[in-house]
Amino acid sequence: MKRTIVFWGILLVLLTGQAISVYSQDTTNLEERTIEAVNTGIDNGINIPFIDLAVRQANDNQEVTLSIQILIFLAILTLSPSILILTTPFLRIAIVFDFVKRALSLQQVPPTQVLMGIALFLTFFIMWPTIQEVNDTAFQPFSNGEIGLEELYNNASGPMRLFMYRQMQGNHDNIQLFMRLRGLPKPANFSEVPTYVLVPAYVLSELTVAFKIGILLFIPFIVIDMVVASILMSMGMIMLPPVMISMPFKIILFVLVDGWGLITQQLIASFG
């Protein structure tokens, strides 16, 4: 019995040693083939990039300033969707579409993603002349090296500021409100209004206009709800929800008058 155990132990050691030797030989061959492939690629003119990311202590004030600028740039990229929403017609269009969905008593149809997609493309449609002006006066000259970074900002913000100012339709109370809250004197003209005052004033103006449109959209559908609720009450159907009965009638009315077309037409006309 002892001899059998010793025999199998010696055989196991020999097999393990042979396996380790084969594995080491295969690993060595793999490393050699890898080095040979890399050298072959370099000799054949294949560009293999070298990626290095290092974080070290800043040596002077210029490097500190550069790091701060990179952080600010990343923060702007993170907030860019919100900036685009608050400085374009997207805010008004999205709110009006949500009012339409609620007025029709619809819960899941159309999906919110679909409404936001329609609002996005309508925003591009309305903003296209402004986008072209920004491209012609700011981005193209900057890419050709004709203007600097400061002129790029001024030329790009000018059409955007003018677009926001025009949408206030002569109602400048919001601008005066934020100028007063900031402790600034009353501006003599549009050029004296800072951008950080114009943007929140434009946002409040868009919210007000969107809610006014939403109220006008709700009125005919509220009338339908009241009529249906009165009929159900007179018939003694108290336990039957009026919304369940009125929703088909509201959808039929909305389709017959081409509601989506009328709303889209009026929304685009409101930005004229």
Query: In total, how many domains does the chain have?
Result: 1
Its sign, for the CA torsion 13, 16, 22, 28, is negative
Q: Which of 203, 244, 204, 209 is nearest to 224 (CA)?
A: 244
Region 116-125 average pLDDT: 89
Q: Amino acid identity, residue 188? A: A
Domain that holds residue 166: 75-270
pLDDT of residue 15: 41
Q: Is residue 87 part of a domain?
A: yes
Residue 123 has pLDDT above 70, yes or no: yes
- Residues in CB range of 105: below 8 A, 6 or more apart: 221, 243, 246, 247, 250
pLDDT of residue 7: 40
Residue 8 has pLDDT above 60, yes or no: no
pLDDT in tens, 86-110: 888 898 898 898 888 888 877 777 8
Q: Is residue 6 part of a domain?
A: no
Region 129-150 average pLDDT: 81
pTM: 0.69
**């509601």: which residue's tokens?**
259
Q: Is residue 174 part of a domain?
A: yes
More confident residue, 147 or 62: 147
pLDDT in tens, 159-202: 888 888 888 876 777 788 888 888 888 877 777 788 888 888 88
Average pLDDT of the chain, as a whole number: 74
pLDDT of residue 63: 62
pLDDT of residue 17: 43
Residue 220 has pLDDT above 60, yes or no: yes
Q: Is residue 29 part of a domain?
A: no
Q: Is residue 221 part of a domain?
A: yes
Residue 221: count other Cβ atoms within 10 Å of its Cβ: 20
pLDDT > 90 fraction of the chain, expressed in percent and rounded: 0
Distance of alpha carbon 195 from alpha carbon 160, whole angstroms: 10
Q: Is residue 4 part of a domain?
A: no
Residue 208: count other Cβ atoms within 10 Å of its Cβ: 15
Q: Is residue 17 part of a domain?
A: no
Confidence of residue 155 (pLDDT cuts 50, 70, 90): confident
Contact (CB, 8 A) for 133 and 112: no
Burial class (CB in 10 A: 0-12, 13-18, 19+), 268: middle
Peptide bond between residue 248 and the one before it cis (omega within 30 degrees of 0):
no
The full DSSP string for the chain is -HHHHHHHHHHHHHHHHHHHHHHHHHHHHHHHHHHHHHHHHHHTT--------------SHHHHHHHHHHHHHHHHHHHHHHHHHHTSTHHHHHHHHHHHHHHTT-SSSS-HHHHHHHHHHHHHHHHHHHHHHHIIIIIHHHHTTSS-HHHHHHHHHHHHHHHHHHTTTT--HHHHHHHHHHTPPPPSSGGGS-HHHHHHHHHHHHHHHHHHHHHHHHHHHHHHHHHHHHHHHHTT--SS-HHHHHHHHHHHHHHHTTHHHHHHHHHHHHT-
pLDDT of residue 5: 43
pLDDT in tens, 10-66: 444 344 444 444 334 444 454 455 445 445 544 444 455 555 556 666 666 666 677
Q: Is residue 254 part of a domain?
A: yes
Residue 80 has pLDDT above 80, yes or no: no
pLDDT of residue 36: 53
